[in-house]
Amino acid sequence: MLDEVELVIDLLKTTFDGRAWHGPSFMDTLKDVNAEEAGMRPVEQRHTIWEIVNHCAYWMDAFTGALKGKEMPRIVPGSDEDWPQMGATEEDWIGAKEDLRKSLEALVSALAGFDESHLGSTVPGRSYTYQKMLHGISDHNVYHAGQIAVFRKKR
């Protein structure tokens, strides 16, 4: 039986780039997506695949910082900080996907060194626990992977 930290690491890895039970993993939804498709706005006032990738990388980085004792950023939902801007070239898109992967790897690495006895502690700058935060980031990634899958299916 996995302990809580091992379980969350497994969830993060599997839903990100593994054989997820719910459907395609996050990285599977990005297979064969080029910069042009990543930058298409599915519906006016909705986010592009590229913006979603940048958004997920941003929050995984913020959660990694929280695991290391940094205060979670206070940002306005929907702001440019919450939804970082996308690049313009195929190289920028490749870089965005690599940044996403690096964000997940850093989060998993930080979590592997996290003392499980602190899971019930409150995240600096927030009112929720590390345990809730870690399940939340996994859910967050799955939610956005689903958005990408639906967007791509409609095309």
Residue 86, C-beta contacts closer than 8 angstroms, at least 6 positions apart: 38, 39, 48, 50, 51, 54, 92, 93, 96
* Structure confidence at residue 155 (pLDDT): 57
Band of pLDDT at residue 7, cut at 50, 70 and 90: very high
Average of per-residue pLDDT across 86-110: 97
Q: What are phi and psi of 88, to 5 degrees?
A: -125, -20
Delimit the domains of the chain by residue range.
Answer: 4-154
pTM confidence score: 0.94
pLDDT at 154: 66
Question: What's the confidence (pLDDT) of residue 20?
Answer: 75
Specify the CATH architecture of the domain 4-154.
Answer: Up-down Bundle (1.20)
pLDDT value for 19: 82
Question: What six digits make up the tokens of 52?
Answer: 């979603």
Both tokens of 22, joined, read 């719910």
- For 16-69, what is each residue's pLDDT tens digit? 998 877 789 999 999 999 999 999 998 887 899 999 999 999 999 999 999 999
For the chain, the average pLDDT equals 92
pLDDT at 74: 87
What pLDDT, on a 0 to 100 scale, did the predictor assign at position 21? 77
